[in-house]
Amino acid sequence: MNILFIRSIEGRILAGITMFVGMMILVGWVAINEEARMQSFVRQHTGRSIERGAELFASLCSECHGEEGYGAGDRAPGLNNPHLFGFDPVGLQTAAITNANRALVRLNKEIDSLLAELTDAQNPPTEERQNEILAAIAELEAQVEEQDIAINAAVTERTAILETLDTAVENDLFPLWDTIVDIEQTGDNEVEVFFNTNGTRLAQVGWAGDLHGYVVTTLIHGRPGSARVYPNSTGMAAWSQTAGGPLRQDQIEDLAAYILNWDKGENWTTEDFIAVAQYGKPLADGSLPSEPPPPPAGDNVLGIMQRWELEEVVGSAVSGEMLYDQEFGCTDCHRDGASAPDTIGTATRIRNERLTLPQFADYTIEQYIVESITRPGDYVVDGYSSGLMPVNFGLRMTDQQLADIVAYLLTQE
């Protein structure tokens, strides 16, 4: 071991300097590669952000917006949607027609001026010049013809695309159109009218910022009143913690990264338009729903029990199961007993293990379940962490929904 100790002073100085210089060279080498490393880190991190966003989308958003982001009729608009990303299905053709028309104006001007020179009575051109002008006009007219052909081709293409989309509209694939423009009266191609009046989703809602800002804002604040616009939905909730929802800001950004990753840029196709199941509707017109939605159950356990008795609320285990599994996603945690007590055997356990505890002496089994759902922090079963279960279920469920879930859990022996 003592061999490691270089015995001569020069040796040690030399070794020290060598190592120091070696280290500086290494650090320098790392430094000149930093730019590339940092860029690749950003790429990698964006990829992972999209992955996390995909996970959040599948578990929180796909129920309404569809697993593949196409939306659901009268429930939620599609996000895998060229219209959202501002893609004009006939944009290329329209541009081609506009360009050709501009060229035509220019060519006709040139022809006119040549003709004027040719027929100028005061300054008649020489014979040589006349021949020149006639040749030039012939060439320009050939160009005019070329542009005409181009326009015809673009118009044909454009009409074909619009026809395809229009057929889709007629087959009711776009539940949106008829709510926006009164097509019947104008007699125009519906899709064309739509794109003339509603260009992109951002223009439609009058959003001044960019798409990222629009998506993030919608995720944070939700869409107050959207339940009135989409009758099959319960409305887009505020998802961000800043607005009282469950998601952190970084999760909002992950979701936005995932949603924006649907953008195909210039490569959207007519099929993509047809695949969308629900387009974004314009803002609500301000009319109120005929019946106000039922109030949430809240977290006053005894109050809830009393109301149930007075209003004769009876739960249905069948709809309770659906609410439990899907609407409120209880089985996401209550599935195998690892992070939360298993759903299977809930009723048995409560009866045999919980209600025998002194603090639950005067509880009914229903009351225990209601308390566990609306005030999860009051008692946590040994072996599980407190604070994991969200505390706002009481505010998200109506009395009837709560009763349905209780009825369902009572069947879990």
Partner 1 sequence: MTILPFPSFLDDVKEKGFKKAVFEGIDDSVERLTAGLNVQDLREAFRGETASRRPNPRLTPHADGFWLHMRPSYFNRDVTGMYPSFRLGWLSSYFVWFETITGILLMLWYTPSPEIAYGDMLTILSNVPLGQLMRDMHRLGAEFMVAVVAMHMMRTWITGSYKKPRQFTWFTGLLLLVITGFLSFSGYLLPWDQLSLWAVTIGASMAEATPVVGDQVNLLLRGAPELGANGLLRFYLLHVLALPALLFVFFGVHYYKVVIHGHSLPPQKENIGEDTAKRVPLDKRVYFIPDMLTYEMMWLGATTFIITVLCIWFYHAPLENHADPQVTPLGTTAPWYFLWIQGALKLGDKFFWGVAFPTIALGGLALLPYLDVTPSRRYAHRRFMLTIASLLISVTTILSYMGLAKFAVQTSAETEIVHELTFEPAHSKVGVGRTIPFDQMIVGAYTTAQMHHHDDMSANDMIAEINAEVLANGQFAQMIQELKDQHVGANQLPLRFRTIPAAEAPTLMRVMEAFAHHLEAEPNELPNVWGSLVITDNQAGLKRLDWVVSWDSVLIEGGEVQLDDNDDPILVYSDQVDAEGNPIPVRRIYSDHLFIHEASAYFD
Please report, as ranges, the residues that interact with partner 1 according to CB under 8 A. 1-2, 4-6, 8-10, 12-13, 15-20, 22-23, 26-27, 30-31, 34-35, 37-38, 40-48, 50-52, 54-55, 58-59, 62-63, 66-68, 80, 248-251, 258, 261-262, 264, 325, 336, 338-339, 385-388
By beta-carbon proximity to partner 1, the closer residue of 14 and 105 is 14
User: In sequence order, what are the residues at sequence separation of 6 or more whose Cβ sits closer than 8 angstroms to the Cβ of residue 132?
Assistant: none
Q: Is 94 helix (H, G, I), strand (E, B) or coil?
A: helix
Cβ of residue 351: shortest distance to partner 1, in angstroms? 20
Cβ of residue 394: shortest distance to partner 1, in angstroms? 18
The CB density around residue 339, as the number of other CB atoms within 10 Å, is: 13
By beta-carbon proximity to partner 1, the closer residue of 38 and 357 is 38
By beta-carbon proximity to partner 1, the closer residue of 23 and 134 is 23
Cβ of residue 37: shortest distance to partner 1, in angstroms? 7
By beta-carbon proximity to partner 1, the closer residue of 43 and 129 is 43
The DSSP bridge partners found for residue 398 are 296
Cβ of residue 32: shortest distance to partner 1, in angstroms? 10
By beta-carbon proximity to partner 1, the closer residue of 138 and 338 is 338
User: In sequence order, what are the residues at sequence separation of 6 or more whose Cβ sits closer than 8 angstroms to the Cβ of residue 164?
Assistant: 270, 274
By beta-carbon proximity to partner 1, the closer residue of 17 and 136 is 17
**Residues 202, 206, 209, CA angle at the centre, nearest 5°?**
60
Give how far Cα 63 sits from Cα of 69, 160, 228, 245, 248, Å: 10, 35, 18, 17, 20
223 phi and psi, to 5 degrees?
-130, 90
Cβ of residue 342: shortest distance to partner 1, in angstroms? 11
Cβ of residue 70: shortest distance to partner 1, in angstroms? 9
Query: What stretches of 214-335 adopt beta strand conformation (E)?
Result: none
Per-residue HEC secondary structure of 266-312 comes to: HHCCHHHHHHCCCCCCCCCCCCCCCCCCCCECCCCHHHHHHHHHHCC
Q: How far apart are CA 221 and CA 308, in angstroms?
A: 33
Quote the DSSP letter at residue 240: B
Cβ of residue 169: shortest distance to partner 1, in angstroms? 22
By beta-carbon proximity to partner 1, the closer residue of 320 and 366 is 320
Helix extents (H) in 210-262? 211-221, 226-229, 249-260
Contact indicator for 278, 219 with CB cutoff of 8 Å: no
By beta-carbon proximity to partner 1, the closer residue of 60 and 202 is 60
Cβ of residue 6: shortest distance to partner 1, in angstroms? 7
342 phi and psi, to 5 degrees?
-65, 145
